[in-house]
Structure 1
Amino acid sequence: MGIVLNDRCYPDVDEISVTEDNIDVVSFLTEWFDDREYVVGHTSGSTGTPKKIHLLKSDMEASARLTNEFFGIDTDSVLLLCLSPNYIAGKMMIVRALLAGANLLVVKPSSSPLKEINRSVDFAAMVPMQVQESLSDSVTRNKISYIKQLIIGGAAVSSTLESALSAFPIRCFSTYGMTETVSHIALRELNTAYSGYKALGNITFSQDDRGCLCIHAPHLSNTFFITNDIVRLSGKTSFEWLGRFDNVINSGGIKLFPEEIEKKISELIPDKRFYVTGVLDERLGEKAVLIIEDQNWTQEKIASFMKEVRFILSPYQIPKEIRFVSNFRETYSGKIIRENQE
């Protein structure tokens, strides 16, 4: 099987000259073509320290075929790899290109990966921060249009970012999946009438007694997964994501989903990172508190924000307090760690 990197075909991984930009790609390819049935991966660390996991190559191939079929990826396609191959999203971009015989453009992972791109790309994967940075930079903003199909994963896509992408003639999707499911198993097309995720291939969904998503994935060696994601099912092949079970705030007997609140208020805090969490409260049991990564809000700005938020949120959802911190802690993969507040 040939390897096509940056417009050049290599008959063997040993033929590839190792550079600072492709060293992790070459390392993965070496592992991919060895005699073992698996490659070593790591979970994202969203709920703690990343764990080492063995990913079967047969499962990775099955996952890649689903994606390639959905997006029409073939030997004529150009794919962009701007994510680290140390995590599942980057690994799977390489596998998709290998199986399709597609041309894989490799750029060093950064917050603004399109700076060196000056050509059309059929398929790319980014995290929300990379998309936001690309849109904010005058040099790279119009380069978003070079990408025909873009998947965005690793964190939630804010309503502000989704709206900004609607100005460009590209198909954009938010992904749902995890390392254990070998990348995404469902996609939500942005800026369309339906706000839910739709299954790929023959994947189906159900719920446990907590209302959390259960995944039935016949294409994988492990065919059943129980998640901590609370969802609203629409039949067996689609769902709306409501939030994490472990993040739910029980305030005065009302269940609040922080992620739902965050999406609604994202347009009011477009340039700062933030999250909503629950804090113990004598009267309510728990109260919703907004944590913002900033130290420069004046009392006037806080008052203005609280006035605007009343038009967006229900009375129960409105944060009872706003707290400010200088810097959020992050997981190994760059996700915000929701600190317990007292």
Structure 2
Amino acid sequence: MSVAETVVPGLYAVKDVGEILRRQARQRGEEPAIFSDGEALGYGELWRRSLNVAGHLVSRLDGEAGRVGFIGRECAAYYEVLFGCALAGAVFVPINWRLTPREVAHILTDAGIDLLFCDAETLDIVGESLRASGHRAEVVCLAAGLTPTDYDAVQRAEADESALPPPDPQRTFCLIYTSGTTGLPKGVCLPHLSFFQIREVLLSNGLDWLDWHPEDRSLVGIPGFHIGGLWWALQSFSAGAAIVVLPQFEPRLCLQAMSRHGVSIACMVPAMINLLLDAVVEDGAALPRLRKVVYGGAPISAALLQRGLEVLGCDFAQIYGLSETGNTAVCLDPGSHRADPGLLQAAGRPYPGVELKVIDADGRALAQGEVGEVCIRTPARMSGYWGLPEATASTLRDGWLHTGDAGYLDPAGYLFIFDRIKDVIITGGEKIFPAEVENVISAFPPVHECAVIGIPDEAWGERAICLLVARQGADVDVDELYRYLDGRLAAYKRPTQIHRVDSLPRNPSGKLLRRALRDAFWTDRARRV
């Protein structure tokens, strides 16, 4: 037994990401691990190819903890790089391929990326990002012949397993970049062990709120640059299941992949579920092997949830967590979905070993039913923000993680998310922080000031709009402003509407009353998210 393993009754528990693959390759080397682009990759081959990546990293990086980025569509190589980083002791940094070169450049420089894997589609973005930032990193393209060292060359190199460092559960495995209230994304440092402790607790307590089995075919609907997608894939691999990978979510392609591979469990955001249900109904399709859909990343309406239960006829489970928790912390289990229609608006109950409290602005714990900031104490959480000790100290206080979400606890211990304390908009599972968007729009010369808020949207949960004030004597051409935003903001961050107004509301000290602007659009809603 390796130093990374512990024994829990009925469970092989692992504390290191690389050990997942090492064990599955030994026990089920010929069984499928990944279905991607119409091809299957077995656990044994995934181990061999990941080991080759690890060998390349060890030869290139100066010691352990080098930062290795990946930007590109989901594919088998993404997971080979992920496991290669884990085996080599490197820090894996998945980057959203929808970002602009300017946004990518910030991540490359902030993380100090040493080596960057990309696909052919993102190679130009990578080149522009490196030129703009002046950052130096070795680039390895997955397509042959486009970079001095391409992925085929990495796979041809001989790997020496004995040269790899020993597992270390406390070592940082990945940096997940999440936007922040200052407008600059922050790197969330997650250690290896943060990905396994919740599953271990669930199984050791005999709870099947979330479960994965070796025979499962698991759809990874959420991209791996999000904590939800990364977490879901690792839990599936831990059980020896095979994952089904989509290069991007398109409802009919998703439905075809689920049917072709007999998907039995799936993880999606509510907007994806909505689109998938439309495709199922329009095509008269059925998914007889689907036993559970796990959803999260954004609130879901009771109507959509009820429709999902009726159309798909499977169990549903809701998860709630943050990049900073490195895992889910709260779950609305399938039984609760069936028990009481009123619970369909709950985020769920905390897992065993996870504590919740709701506090007021002065940090005092509130009684049941009172709305305040939700705080979580969990064994699975970040070690901190990369290079930001003050931000870390603000979020992690006395062992509690302050979420920035406003909610309350009912007498049965269910958490209900009511609103947000932090200024964040969630559209289709993607987070948008107004400050980042406002910083870019405010740099457009005719703009005097602006405010970006989230308003309700039935399909996507929320969508961003902008209210702006023009400089004195200037006129803002909205079409010209949208052209200005191209290349400066990822498409999903751009406001869906831009409205010119005479002024923005402020308090006597001059602070923008964003809440007053936002509330006008949410007055008829039971919750403001």
Give the alignment's TM-score, normalised by structure 2. 0.46
Instruction: Judge conservation of contact 2:224–2:230 (CA < 8 Å) in 1.
Output: yes
CA gap of 1:201–1:281, structure 2 versus 1, over 3 A, is: same
Q: Say which of 240, 263, 277 aligns to 2:416.
A: 240
1:209-288 equivalence runs, <5 A: 209-210=360-361, 211-218=372-379, 223-235=399-411, 237-246=413-422, 262=456, 269=458, 274=463, 280=505, 286=516, 288=519
Instruction: Judge conservation of contact 1:204–1:237 (CA < 8 Å) in 2.
Output: no
Q: Does 1:176 align with 2:176?
A: no
Query: Deviation per CA, 1:205-228, whole angstroms, max 9, x where unpaired?
Result: 112223211112145586521121
Give the superposition deviation at 1:64.
4.1
1:199 positional shift: 1.0
Counterparts of 1:46 and 1:174, CA distance in 2: 25
Instruction: Give distance in 2, aligned partners of 1:44 and 1:5.
Output: 27
1:152-163 equivalence runs, <5 A? 152-163=295-306
Kept after mapping to 2: 8 A contact 1:157/1:174? no
Deviations 1:18-44 (A, max 9, x none): 997323222212223223522223243
Q: CA deviation at 1:177?
A: 0.4
Unmatched runs of 5 consecutive residues or more in structure 2: 1-22, 26-32, 54-72, 91-170, 362-371, 384-398, 425-452, 468-503, 508-512
Structure 1 residue aligned with 2:291, among 143, 148, 152? 148
- Which residue of 22, 41, 48 corresponds with 2:175? 41
CA distance in 2, matches of 1:142, 1:235: 41
Q: 1:39 to 1:313 in 2, by over 3 A?
A: closer
1:91–1:219 distance in 2 versus 1, CA, 3 Å: closer
Query: Where do residues 1-342 of structure 1 align in structure 2 (5 Å cutoff)?
Result: 1-2=23-24, 4-6=33-35, 8-11=41-44, 12-15=46-49, 21-36=75-90, 37-45=171-179, 47=181, 48-66=183-201, 70=208, 71-112=210-251, 113-118=254-259, 119-138=261-280, 142-143=285-286, 146-167=289-310, 168-189=312-333, 190=337, 192-193=339-340, 194=343, 195-196=345-346, 197-210=348-361, 211-218=372-379, 223-235=399-411, 237-246=413-422, 262=456, 269=458, 274=463, 280=505, 286=516, 288-290=519-521
CA contact (8 A) 1:277 1:289 kept: no
Kindly tell me: are residues 202 and 277 of structure 1, through their superposed partners in 2, closer, same or farther at Cα, counting changes over 3 Å? farther
Distance 1:221 1:51 in 2: 12
Change (3 A) 1:58 1:272: closer
The verdict on how the C-alpha distance between 1:199 and 1:276 changes in structure 2, with shifts beyond 3 A counting, is farther
Match of 1:306 in 2: none
Quote how far apart the aligned CAs of 1:128 are.
Answer: 1.8
Distance 1:121 1:150, change over 3 A: same
Q: Which structure has the larger Rg over C-alpha atoms?
A: 2
Letter in 1 for 2:43: Y
Residues 270 and 85 of structure 1: is their aligned pair in 2 closer, same or farther, counting only changes over 3 Å?
closer
How many residues align structurally? Answer: 282
The change in CA–CA distance for 1:163 and 1:281 in structure 2 (over 3 A counts) is farther
Task: Give unmatched runs, 5+ long, in structure 1.
Answer: 249-257, 292-308, 319-337
Mean alpha-carbon deviation: is it higher for 128-137 or for 112-121? 112-121
- The 2-side partners of 1:217 and 1:89 are apart by 17
Deviation of 1:236 after TM superposition, in Å, equals 8.3
Going from structure 1 to structure 2, the CA distance change for 1:124 and 1:181 (only over 3 Å counts) comes to same
**Counterpart of 2:82 in 1: which secondary structure?**
helix
The offset of 1:74, in angstroms, is: 2.7
Instruction: Encode CA deviations 1:83-114: one digit per residue, 9 max, x unaligned.
Output: 22222112112211222122222232313223
SS of match in other structure, 2:233: helix
Q: Deviations over 1:145-174 (max 9, x none)?
A: 542111112222123322321313111123
Task: Give the superposition deviation at 1:132.
Answer: 1.5
Q: Is the 8 A contact 1:198 1:237 kept in 2?
A: yes
State the alpha-carbon separation in 2 of the partners of residues 205 and 122 from structure 1: 31
C-alpha contact (below 8 Å) 2:178/2:187 kept by paired residues: no
Question: 2:219 touches 2:245 (CA, 8 Å); kept in 1?
Answer: yes
Q: Tell whether the 8 Å contact from 2:324 to 2:381 is kept in structure 1 after alignment.
A: no
Distance 2:222 2:198 in 1: 18
The 8 Å contact of residues 357 and 374 in structure 2, kept in 1 or not, is answered as yes
CA distance in 2, matches of 1:96, 1:23: 18
Question: Would you say the 8 A contact 1:212–1:231 is kept in 2?
Answer: yes
Percent identity over paired residues: 15
